[in-house]
């Protein structure tokens, strides 16, 4: 477990799009390739070092189409130096088989959610055989997984993955607590600390995000407890009461400012690669 004294800089992940918001409701949501490239550039300049990508098609709908995914990975790599992570969670409607094919786009990193969760009125499905297969395929393809923990039971499932398959590619184990999803663990400091306290000893770093109004409390809790940060419009579209986020870089810049105030400034992309065990 990363203690406050061990964590110096702060890894800031930006999750700019997600699969849940509609472009029609939120025109500033980056959904096109040009918008993703602009987002990557501006968020890196603001202090992000990792980008968690969900891809949209020509109609701005979530897609796992291999062509769209490859084009996005290549374009974001060309735009700068961010670690590129593709979501394997996709949307709640994506079939498990297709979610495995995300790895064909050869990102630096992939998300790997450690269990099934009620997700509002829907179910975000992650049965053990899927998690296990994704883990092994990521190992074989030298892609670093980021373990998404929506609930305390997911921490225990991570233990099972590590016991069953050994360490992931790169030898590091980074987890992200996704709190405040209706159906998952709440975005409270108490719940976050319970999760951190249960982490297996192989875990080398952790971050946290709070959905919606959990955003700021989780940022403060993670920073004070030695964790890293994830921000972005996938998780939260309100900058402050009455003000909708205009661009993802606003959220990154505020996270970087708070991290610097806490004497844990935003990490460089090189530092992030070393932290996560990403191959050169």
Binding footprint of Zn ion on the chain (CB under 5 A): 87
Q: Find the radius of gyration of the CA atoms of the chain.
A: 17
Report if residue 113 touches ligand KMH, rule: CB under 6 A.
yes
User: Which parts of 49-88 interact with ligand KMH (CB under 6 A)?
Assistant: 87-88
Report if residue 148 touches ligand KMH, rule: CB under 6 A.
yes
Site map 2..21 versus ligand KMH, x via CB under 6 A: ----------------xx--
Min dist. Cβ of residue 236 to Zn ion (A):
13
Report how far apart the first and last C-alpha atoms of the chain are (Å, whole number). Answer: 25
Token code pair at residue 218? 């989780």
In the complex, residue closest to Zn ion by CB? 87
Residue number, 87 or 116, with CB nearest to Zn ion: 87
Min dist. Cβ of residue 264 to ligand KMH (A):
25
Min dist. Cβ of residue 221 to ligand KMH (A):
21
- Tell me if 84 sits within 8 A of 107, measured CB to CB: yes
Min dist. Cβ of residue 77 to ligand KMH (A):
19
**Partner interacting with residue 236 (select from ligand KMH, Zn ion, none; CB below 5-8 Å by kind):** none
Instruction: Please spell the DSSP secondary structure of the chain, one letter per residue.
Output: ---TTT--SB-EEE----SSS-TTT-TTS--SHHHHHHHHHHHHHHT--EEEE-EE-TTS-EE--HHHHHHHHHHHHHH--PEEEE-SS--TTS-HHHHHGGGGG--SEEEEE-S-EEETTEEE---HHHHHHHHHHHHHHT-EEEEEESSHHHHHHHHHHHHHH-SPTTS--EEEEEE--BTB--S-HHHHHHHHHH--TT--EEEEEESGGGHHHHHHHHHHTT-EEEESTTT--EEETTEE-S-HHHHHHHHHHHHHHTT-PBPPHHHHHHHHT---
**Partner interacting with residue 113 (select from Zn ion, ligand KMH, none; CB below 5-8 Å by kind):** ligand KMH
Rounded Cα distance, 189 and 173, in Å: 22
Min dist. Cβ of residue 61 to Zn ion (A):
15
How many residues at the interface with ligand KMH, by CB under 6 A? 12
Rounded Cα distance, 51 and 136, in Å: 23
**Partner interacting with residue 135 (select from ligand KMH, Zn ion, none; CB below 5-8 Å by kind):** none
Report if residue 89 touches ligand KMH, rule: CB under 6 A.
yes
Binding residue (CB under 6 A) for ligand KMH from 75, 92, 100, 216: 92
Report if residue 100 touches ligand KMH, rule: CB under 6 A.
no
Rounded Cα distance, 86 and 73, in Å: 8
Residue number, 112 or 255, with CB nearest to ligand KMH: 112
In the complex, residue closest to ligand KMH by CB? 89
Min dist. Cβ of residue 14 to Zn ion (A):
11
Report if residue 130 touches ligand KMH, rule: CB under 6 A.
no
Chain residues binding ligand KMH by CB under 6 A are 18-19, 87-89, 91-92, 111, 113, 119, 124, 148
């Amino acid at each position: 477990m990363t203690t406050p004294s061990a964590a110096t800089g702060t890894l800031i992940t930006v999750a700019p799009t997600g699969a849940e918001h509609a472009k029609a409701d939120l025109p500033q949501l980056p959904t096109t390739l040009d918008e993703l490239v602009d987002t990557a550039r501006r968020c890196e300049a603001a202090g992000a070092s990792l980008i968690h990508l969900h891809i949209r098609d020509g109609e701005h709908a979530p897609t796992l189409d291999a062509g769209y995914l490859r084009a996005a990975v290549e374009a974001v790599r060309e735009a700068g130096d961010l670690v590129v992570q593709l979501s394997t969670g996709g949307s709640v409607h994506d079939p498990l088989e297709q979610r495995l094919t995300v790895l064909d786009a050869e990102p630096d990193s992939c998300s790997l959610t450690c269990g099934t969760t009620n997700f509002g009125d829907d179910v975000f499905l992650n049965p053990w055989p899927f998690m296990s297969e994704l883990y092994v395929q990521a190992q074989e393809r030298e892609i670093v997984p980021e373990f998404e923990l929506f609930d305390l039971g997911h921490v225990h499932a991570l233990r099972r993955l590590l016991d069953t398959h050994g360490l992931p590619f790169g030898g590091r184990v980074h987890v992200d607590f996704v709190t405040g999803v209706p159906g998952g663990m709440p975005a409270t400091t108490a719940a976050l600390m319970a999760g951190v306290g249960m982490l297996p000893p192989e875990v080398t770093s952790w971050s946290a995000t709070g959905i919606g109004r959990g955003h700021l409390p989780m940022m403060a809790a993670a920073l004070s407890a030695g964790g890293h940060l994830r921000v972005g419009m996938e998780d939260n579209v309100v900058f402050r009461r009455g003000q909708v986020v205009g661009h993802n870089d606003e959220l990154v810049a505020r996270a970087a400012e708070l991290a610097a105030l806490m004497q844990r400034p935003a990490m460089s992309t090189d530092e992030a690669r070393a932290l996560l065990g990403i191959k050169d």
